[in-house]
Amino acid sequence: MATVNQIIGGSFQDSEGNTLALGYLKIRLSQDAQANGNSQVGSLYDLQINLDSSGNVPSSPEVSLWPNSALLPSGTTYTISAYTSEGQLVWGPNSQSIPTSPSPFNLGAWIPNQS
């Protein structure tokens, strides 16, 4: 049975190299999906994840997402955008995937728009 994967890190910055201290991410699944044969995962909801003072997704409280390989239909992605603490868009929107492992998964490993 598939399980969710914790996400951490990212070290998000703006184009001038300023840390997105206390900024946030908005994450949305590309389409409705199913996990584990009986759990419905909705896509019409933007998950907002607050970043810490270093521009990272903190390890506590834990934030977890379904790995895309665990969802049906296949081919889903997450649309991710990063914002300053004032709400200015500085990264994305990018189409990204969450792997099954490692867990936790450090978002700093993402290459924008490479799922």
What's 66's domain CATH number?
Answer: 2.170.14
Residue 93 lies in a domain: yes
The total of structural domains in the chain comes to 1
Residue 110 lies in a domain: no
The whole-model pTM stands at 0.92
Residue 106 lies in a domain: no
Residue 115 lies in a domain: no
Residue 114 lies in a domain: no
Range of the structural domain that residue 82 is part of: 5-98
Q: Which DSSP state fits 107?
A: G
Side chain identity, residue 115: S
pLDDT tens across 73-114, in order?
999 999 999 999 999 999 999 999 999 999 999 999 999 888
